[in-house]
Amino acid sequence: MSGNDRAAVPATRTARARRPPTGSTHAADTAYLFEDEAAEPSFTPAQRRLSAVMTGYWAAFARTGAPRGTGLPAWPPHRPGPVGRPYTQSLAPQRIGPVDYRREHDLDFWDRMP
């Protein structure tokens, strides 16, 4: 394949040729949001649930402007509040729900850095 030929390959075909990555990487969510014939057979039950929840959030957001709906884990709106208030939503396959972003990312530690 020449350099010019590569430009004609749709990005979705290229992305779907790989299994979903582990961890948080750029575009890691695409395998869960769009039908991915290459990745879906290898999904665990937790990943299948994550995919259903994520598409539910996206559909609810497109329909109402808020990622909330019947049967979806609660996703409260972001409102600045006291330190440690959990308002960030985790979409990890093993845990979907609010997390304490400050604690998860050791922000107290980073705040003390010169």
Q: Is 51 exposed, middle or buried (0-12, 13-18, 19+ CB in 10 A)?
A: buried
Give residue 38's pLDDT. Answer: 84
Give residue 62's pLDDT. Answer: 93
Q: Kindly report the CA angle at 12 between 64 and 54, in degrees rounded to 5?
A: 35
Please state, in angstroms and as integers, the Cα–Cα distance from residue 96 to each residue in 7, 31, 43, following that order.
37, 17, 16
pTM of the model: 0.58
Domain extents for the chain?
A: 29-71+88-112
Give residue 63's pLDDT. Answer: 92
Please state, in angstroms and as integers, the Cα–Cα distance from residue 83 to each residue in 56, 76, 98, 106, 108, following that order.
30, 16, 14, 12, 10
Residue 48 CB neighbours (<10 A): 13
Give residue 19's pLDDT. Answer: 53
Positions of the chain with pLDDT lower than 50, given as ranges: 1-17, 84
Give residue 110's pLDDT. Answer: 82
